[in-house]
Amino acid sequence: MVDAAWRIVIPLRLSDAKSRLSSQTASRRRELVVAMALDVATAAASCPGVDDIVLVADRAGIEAVEASGMGGIRMLEDAGGGLNAAILAGAADASGPVAALLADVPCATPEALALALTTCTEGPAFVSDAEGIGTTLLGAPRATDLHPRFGPRSRAAHVAAGARDIADPAPGALAGLRRDVDSEVDLWDARRIGLGAFTRAVVART
């Protein structure tokens, strides 16, 4: 069991602004990307046991989050080595447990995040996405135990790397944490589950 406080690493590349959200303009897609990241950070900030949130982002992403006025987030500029490299950079100097949480999970709640992190205290573990193919969260008791394999079919890659797939402790308990948003269908499903306030505000203006 790990009693130390958690670090949450949120990788964000605003330059990769969700082209599969085809009904949205480029500027609106960028708004959605930032809003989703802010909702993820809000859930992390309100989660018991989390006291450190690191956003690893490209310069455009950092500027957008800073412009929102949200506090309590440490910023680290992405060196450009890809998603997994960004996560490792954000986790590198963590002295306690650490988790990578993707920035496109706007239905994440503090309660669902707390449930997932509790499981990660026993060893590397992850939350698979709603389709059961990808990954939305990967956590470990120590930074040296965090081996991110995000990318195509990351669920299988994380299992192969020795991480456990976290099951819902009750039906639908992690539904919001599983729902990443890449497409119009994903966004519709996220609205059904319940968007965070920042994303909801952007969608309401669409």
Structural tokens at position 91: 């986790």
Sheet containing 135-140: give its strands across.
Answer: 74-77, 50-57, 6-12, 98-101, 135-140, 125-128, 164-165
- Round to whole Å and give the CA distance between 140 and 152: 21
Model-wide pTM > 0.85:
yes
For the domain 6-204, what is the CATH code?
Answer: 3.90.550.10
Tens digits of residue pLDDT in 73-88 = 999 999 989 999 999 9
For 26-183, where are the alpha helices, taking DSSP H only? 26-45, 59-68, 83-91, 110-120, 154-160, 175-178
Q: Average pLDDT, whole number, for the chain?
A: 93
Is residue 2 pLDDT above 60, yes or no? no
Q: What is the pLDDT of residue 1?
A: 42
Is residue 206 pLDDT above 70, yes or no? no
- Domain ranges within the chain, ordered by starting residue: 6-204
- Round to whole Å and give the CA distance between 170 and 173: 5
Give the model's confidence band at 180: pLDDT under 50 very low, under 70 low, under 90 confident, else very high: very high
In contact, 40 and 108? CB cutoff 8 Å = yes
3-state secondary structure of 144: helix
